[in-house]
Structure 1
Amino acid sequence: MMEHVGQRIREVRKIRRLTVRQLADRCAISVSLLEKYERGDRNPAPGTLARLARALKVGPERLTGQPYMNGAETDDQVQAIIPDLRRIMLTYDSPDDLTTAPRPLPVLEAEAEQVARMRQDGRYVPMGPLLPGLLAELTHVALAARGQEQKRAYWWLARAYRASNSLAHKLGYHDLSMTAIERVQWAADRSGDPLMQVTATYLKAGAMIRTGSYSSARRVLEALEAELTRLAPEESLTDPALAVQGAVLLKLAILEARDGQPGRAAQRLDEARAAAVFMGGRDSDHYEMSFGPTNVRIHEIAALIDTGDTEQALARLREWGEDQGRDEWELPEGLAAERASHHHIDVANARLTEGDRRGAFRSLVRARELSPNHVRFHPTVRASAATLVRLDRAQDDTISGFARWAGA
């Protein structure tokens, strides 16, 4: 069994010469809860993990142990592309020469669309090897083209850099992820598309939230909301603009939940719900945002979990399930696999907090069925699987096998 999050928290706490009470006070949590984290009996929610990392003056990845180096993560087709991505992002505006001429822009657009779909489905292993060549070719086309073709090339380049950001973040290369976000912004600014520019800044705000920079992220997201309102022709947003606006509102809801502001989180969820209704009550995929009624509900559950109200989160799932004639709410078919998988990972952690180990394991298995790459690279999965093994007195081979597969 590998070192777990709690062991790393304890290790860094001792390096910083802090007592359990001192660290708990700095993070506004109870001593008993911090002790549970350090023993590995409970797993900190993302917001709590960010507060702990900030109090300990380390990055969150120091506590999660990323980047991971076992199992599929050591597969050459995933790890071997990291140096190429670093090189391409360093030479983004003065790229290395290509050995052959780049493919025509329509061909590159088709491959970029395929990559975007892989990103949304969490298929990082097959996606990774496509990225270096795609980025290089799109860069050469964008720098050489003029007029609308150049703007179009930059638009697709922004999407390819977004996929690179996701890959780097999921593998735990957070410095490379931040560089990728900067390159998304660089390409978006040259695309001439205001919504792509908003999308790029939205990604930056997401990175701020992950590091616990809530006030900065709040300012950025509120400015984006104001910018979207300014862009609306005669106060009427298009469906793509509504989807982007909805995504911004949902990100604000998660921010407020992690910052201990449940009332504000609920207000933002209400605003996002209204945007989804105004868009016709349909789930959409504009600008890879997966916005609609389903994602609003997913974020409602996530916000409750992030505020520590795991009991209410699970009760809400049962309530919605009754409307479907089921024991618990089931996601609709066709939702982006990574988004659906992430929901089940959150629910697994909530079940574990409430002492439902069997239910937690079922949720983890369901998450793996939807997006194996996403699950295997996710730090919460590793932490939850490790906790399940430690608490499993019966030593269930199924649970231990899952934990080994996840690298826990």
Structure 2
Amino acid sequence: MPDSDEANAETVGSRIARYRNLAGYTQREFADHSHLSLGSIRKVEQGERLPTYGFLNTAARTLAVTVEQLTGQPYPSRQRADARVHAPIAAIRSIARAYDLPPEWRPLPRSLDAIARDVDQATNYRAAARYTALGEMLPALLEELTASVHQLDGIARRRAARLLASCYYMAYCLAARLGYLDLASILEERLQWASTQANDPLSIGLAQWTRANGFQVAKDYNTGLRLLEQSYDQLWDAVGSGPSSAAVTLLGSIRLRQVTQASRARDEDATAHHLGEARRLAERISGGVDGVHYHLTFGPVNTAVHDIAAQIELKHVDVAAERARALHLPSSMPRTRRGHHLIDATRAFIAIGDHSAALVALQQARTVAPQQTRYHPMAREAVHVLASHHRRASEEVRALAAWIASATTGTR
């Protein structure tokens, strides 16, 4: 792990330039090999433009490095608050490694009702992007639920497995957000295992939705899209022609992930198709209010959020910015979704040169979901870009940069 000061001083653009030089490419040669535009490479390396996710994936593959090496994740820090965020990772890794060991090696768990209440609390922390509080709960929950799956039978065992799948998903989210992609890959497999033990179509749908992210990270969009289509068909067959609100949320979330993957593949027709399918499913949402089930959010608002992110990847940044200005997220929407949208809005505003709007959106993201914003590579890079456009950065930009780099969030 790199030194804290060095990691904070570097930007995504400077890391790309460093790895490009190590690979022996000039900027023009890198453009020829990666099929990225020379102008985009220059502007990203100079800190004048935010890279898209597609740009990052392509650059990483061309340079034979990981996206995390380009973003600098996991972000090291000597701050006590940061140490607390990262502290549970070792325990989660150990528990995931020992998931199939004999039941007699494990302590006696509490009742499932008591464990379920704690899972609900952890779910609230995840939805609010409170990473420290979530991480402090997960190791014990994973340990107890693994023991329950091994020690119980019948309906109780399936319930324990469903709760375990939920916790593995939350652990996956934590590892991925903090940049531990190797652990996230392991947790993805454990989520698959637990959902199968639960014999619950919606847990299995969540596991498949999560698995598709691995293909997205690898830029294997074709396989990811095929997996999602297969998962959609299997879930639809399992829930019947009159799906519950929870099933609609899972089905819609699969469509939205297809939107993301198609847009990052720069496939305009597929993106439009999957958006259309998502909008049709959203019409089934009672009262038009987005629902949250199995940790996923779906409805007309989250569909609009994904549309904006897709337009950025398709390089329709004017459209994305216009739609971001018009979209107002309800306070009922989970903070993790609102924070993510505000970071995407920041990207769109920077792309059209509206740095004032970008700063406001980033400040709002900090207010809504401080830990998510602090550890999000695009948010961190946005601060560098905003600062680079002004010889004398505003007090607001300097304050945001200081907070991103070394200040604590004050959020548990």
Whether TM-score is above 0.5 comes out as yes
What's 1:137 paired with?
A: 144
1:65-84 alignment runs, 5 A limit: 65-70=72-77, 75-84=82-91
| TM-superposed deviation, 1:40 | 1.1
> Using the alignment, how far apart are the partners of 2:19 and 2:104 within structure 1?
45
Kindly indicate whether the alpha-carbon contact (under 8 Å) linking 2:96 and 2:187 is maintained by their aligned counterparts in 1: yes
Greater Cα offset, 20-29 or 169-178? 20-29
Kindly indicate whether the alpha-carbon contact (under 8 Å) linking 2:145 and 2:164 is maintained by their aligned counterparts in 1: yes
Kindly indicate whether the alpha-carbon contact (under 8 Å) linking 1:6 and 1:37 is maintained by their aligned counterparts in 2: yes
SS in 2 for 1:217: helix
> Using the alignment, how far apart are the partners of 2:398 and 2:312 within structure 1?
26
1:7-406 alignment runs, 5 A limit: 7-70=14-77, 75-94=82-101, 101-233=108-240, 235-280=241-286, 281-318=288-325, 321=326, 329-406=327-404
Kindly indicate whether the alpha-carbon contact (under 8 Å) linking 1:71 and 1:405 is maintained by their aligned counterparts in 2: no
Q: What is the letter of the counterpart of residue 354 of structure 2?
A: D
> Using the alignment, how far apart are the partners of 1:196 and 1:255 within structure 2?
21
> Using the alignment, how far apart are the partners of 1:76 and 1:343 within structure 2?
27
| TM-superposed deviation, 1:38 | 0.8
In the TM superposition, what whole-angstrom CA distance separates every residue of 1:231-280 from its partner, at most 9, and x where no partner exists?
A: 242x3322222111110111001111100112210111111000010233
> Using the alignment, how far apart are the partners of 2:276 and 2:102 within structure 1?
46
| TM-superposed deviation, 1:100 | 5.6
In the TM superposition, what whole-angstrom CA distance separates every residue of 1:353-389 from its partner, at most 9, and x where no partner exists?
A: 1111111111000001111110011000110011112
Kindly indicate whether the alpha-carbon contact (under 8 Å) linking 1:158 and 1:188 is maintained by their aligned counterparts in 2: yes
Give 5+ residue unaligned stretches, structure 2: 1-7, 407-412
SS in 2 for 1:285: strand
Closer, same or farther: CA 18–73 of 1 in aligned 2, 3 Å = farther
| TM-superposed deviation, 1:71 | 6.2
Closer, same or farther: CA 226–99 of 1 in aligned 2, 3 Å = closer
Give 5+ residue unaligned stretches, structure 1: 322-328
Closer, same or farther: CA 356–19 of 1 in aligned 2, 3 Å = same
SS in 1 for 2:297: coil
Percent of aligned pairs with the same amino acid: 33
> Using the alignment, how far apart are the partners of 2:253 and 2:80 within structure 1?
30
Closer, same or farther: CA 71–290 of 1 in aligned 2, 3 Å = farther
> How many residue pairs were aligned?
398
> Using the alignment, how far apart are the partners of 2:251 and 2:393 within structure 1?
47
> Using the alignment, how far apart are the partners of 2:236 and 2:88 within structure 1?
40
> Using the alignment, how far apart are the partners of 1:113 and 1:341 within structure 2?
21
In the TM superposition, what whole-angstrom CA distance separates every residue of 1:138-170 from its partner, at most 9, and x where no partner exists?
A: 111111000000000000000001111111111
Q: What is the letter of the counterpart of residue 407 of structure 1?
A: A
Kindly indicate whether the alpha-carbon contact (under 8 Å) linking 1:95 and 1:140 is maintained by their aligned counterparts in 2: no
> Using the alignment, how far apart are the partners of 2:155 and 2:103 within structure 1?
24
| TM-superposed deviation, 1:98 | 7.5
Q: What is the letter of the counterpart of residue 335 of structure 1?
A: M
> Using the alignment, how far apart are the partners of 2:103 and 2:393 within structure 1?
54
Greater Cα offset, 391-400 or 162-171? 391-400
| TM-superposed deviation, 1:72 | 5.5
Kindly indicate whether the alpha-carbon contact (under 8 Å) linking 1:95 and 1:136 is maintained by their aligned counterparts in 2: no
Closer, same or farther: CA 179–27 of 1 in aligned 2, 3 Å = same
Kindly indicate whether the alpha-carbon contact (under 8 Å) linking 2:202 and 2:250 is maintained by their aligned counterparts in 1: yes
Greater Cα offset, 332-341 or 307-316? 307-316
| TM-superposed deviation, 1:180 | 0.8
TM-score normalized by structure 2?
0.93
In the TM superposition, what whole-angstrom CA distance separates every residue of 1:108-147 from its partner, at most 9, and x where no partner exists?
A: 0111111112112111011111111111011111110000
User: RMSD over aligned Cα, in angstroms?
Assistant: 1.7
SS in 2 for 1:43: coil
TM-score normalized by structure 1?
0.94
Q: What is the letter of the counterpart of residue 260 of structure 1?
A: R
> Using the alignment, how far apart are the partners of 1:315 and 1:21 within structure 2?
33
> Using the alignment, how far apart are the partners of 1:384 and 1:72 within structure 2?
22
